[in-house]
Amino acid sequence: MRRSFLATVLLAPGLVAAQRVTPITLPPADARFEQPFGSVIGIRELSDGRIIVADPNDLGLVVADFRTQSANPISRRGGGPGEYGRVSRLWAIAGDSTLMGDLTQRRWLILDGDRVVVTVPPDHPTVRLTQGLFLGADGAGHLMRESYDDAPVGESTSSERDSSYLVRYHRSTARVDTVARLMRRPMQVTRQANAKGETSAISMRALRLRVGEQYLLHRDGWLAVVRVNPFRVDWRSPDGRWTKGAPLPVPVIRMTDREKQASLARTARSQAANPSNVPVPPSMQIPDDDWPDVMPPYVQGELLASPEGHVLIRRQPSADFPGVAYFVVDRRGRLSGVIELKDSERLLASGARAIYVVESDADDLKYIRRHPWPHSALPPG
């Protein structure tokens, strides 16, 4: 029997007791794309119901039509105008326009519907400022990315005491604003520098089950910042007003030996599902310093917006709650409920009235389903 999301909590200062979280059930899918993808890292819904799909492992950048079950390529791999070196995440901007970073060539592509209409070159002022890297875009022309101080030369380890800066750029004017400070994800970093002190090579490894604070820029300009201690969501409106969320009433789970073994077993199962990887035995040794004292509440990097403007945060699996689930938090920072999925499913994107689930089969091929968003089950975002 599936346990409800309620557990005995060991409280740290400033944290609140766990409460029973309302389950949110997605309505049945109203469309499924039957052609598999090798990988899906981005989905962008168009106003006519088609979707743009970014598949870096197989099909590249395509437009898929649920009605005709066709997938047609958008441009091709290459270095010419409108071409891309490798596809990346898709960001909805104004109307049916989409922004995609071409990270291998340090440039951006802007699409109108299913056509690439602008190639933003590497020497564009904002591309130079960001080095072509961003993680978030809105319909008013803003981009978001984190800015870090350089690590010292050699090997070092960052901790929860280290910070990054959340910086907003305007694509057209190159205006830059620092809007927040974030707790960095603890990392082991190896940095090499040349004679001028400039970075010549850098490698980073995240410590096991360590997370940093996260953010999600919504298309309408609202910014969600997910804090970790205590776990809450702060919101910034497009005009710069902040709303600080209350601590979310979810379990705080200590990192016991049982939790460590459950985590290692999840890793082994995940890697065994991919024949190209060697399974990690549950008995593998992890340095004690790698493990946190408390399980993080969420999985790093798995945030998305709902059609109504909530932020959806993937819950960190644990021994008692091993499945795939997403916290739904509204724009007042309140926990509206939790969406639970099968182990083979992930939420990846939303549209005007729908949310998109990617399911994996036994061969790790990906299929896309469209589900109506359960408006009646939720308060407005």
Pairing of the two strands 154-157 and 187-193: antiparallel
Domain parsing of the chain, residue ranges = 23-255+292-377
Q: What is the rounded CA–CA span in Å between residue 164 and residue 167?
A: 9
Return the CATH fold of 23-255+292-377: Neuraminidase (2.120.10)
Q: Residue 317 has what pLDDT?
A: 95
H/E stretch holding 146 reads strand 142-147
In the prediction, which pLDDT does 3 show? 46
CB 6 within 8 A of CB 19: yes
Rounded distance, CA 270 to CA 222, Å?
34
Place of tokens 């997605």: 26
Residue 5's pLDDT is 45
Helix (H) or strand (E) holding 260: helix 257-272
Rg (CA), the chain: 21
Q: What is the pTM of this model?
A: 0.89
CB 82 within 8 A of CB 119: yes
pLDDT of residue 287: 74
- Give the DSSP H/E element, type plus range, for residue 339: strand 335-341
How is residue 2 written in tokens? 């599936």
In this structure, the dihedral spanned by the alpha carbons of residues 283, 284, 288 and 294, taken in order and rounded to 10 degrees, is -70
Alpha-carbon separation of residue 310 from 31, 335, 350 (angstroms): 23, 10, 11
Contacts of 97 (CB under 8 A, 6+ apart): 110, 111, 112
| Angle at the Cα of 277 from the Cα atoms of 274 and 281, rounded to 5 degrees | 105
Those residues with Cβ within 8 angstroms of residue 157's Cβ, 6 or more apart along the chain or in another chain: 186, 187, 188, 189, 207
Digitized pLDDT (tens) for each residue of the chain, 381 residues in all: 344 444 333 334 344 555 678 899 999 999 999 999 999 999 999 999 999 999 999 999 999 999 999 999 999 999 999 999 999 999 999 999 999 999 999 999 999 999 999 999 999 999 999 999 999 999 999 999 999 887 788 888 887 788 999 999 999 999 999 999 999 998 888 889 898 888 888 888 888 899 999 999 999 999 999 999 999 999 999 999 999 999 999 989 999 999 999 999 988 887 765 544 445 554 456 777 788 999 999 999 999 999 999 999 999 999 999 999 999 999 999 999 999 999 999 999 999 999 999 999 999 999 999 999 997 656 555
pLDDT at 10: 36
